Amino acid sequence: ADYDQVESKLFALCRENGMASLVERWNGEDVPSRAFSDGGIHEAIADYEDTVFYEILAEELARRDMDYQPVSNENYDALVSRMDDYIAEFEAHGTDNISIPTMDD
């Protein structure tokens, strides 16, 4: 029973962290979904890796745009706004609009 409680808590976290396809409710408990049981974990891991990649890239580009200033109370909102703009771009176009001028030759 302890294992079942731990499993339910872990799978509840999936729902809260963008991996809802890996969990379903059964008798009031969060349990592994059919997608998880059938190997959907690989797709969820790939989705998670993509999300992390884009979040890191957005932060790095935003920090570059702000001349790598240390994050402070004064510039935090501007940094987050730039990151949100980059995330919106990546959601719309992926990496299609990223270019490196020195490599275009």
Within-domain flag for 8: no
Average pLDDT over residues 39-53: 81
Average pLDDT over residues 31-57: 84
More confident residue, 16 or 87: 87
Within-domain flag for 54: yes
Does residue 105 carry a pLDDT above 70? no
- Domain hosting 91: range is 47-105
Does residue 14 carry a pLDDT above 90? no
Does residue 23 carry a pLDDT above 90? no
Q: How many domains does the chain have?
A: 1
Alpha carbon separation from 5 to 9, 51, 61, 70, 87 (Å, rounded)? 6, 28, 41, 42, 36
Total-model pTM: 0.61
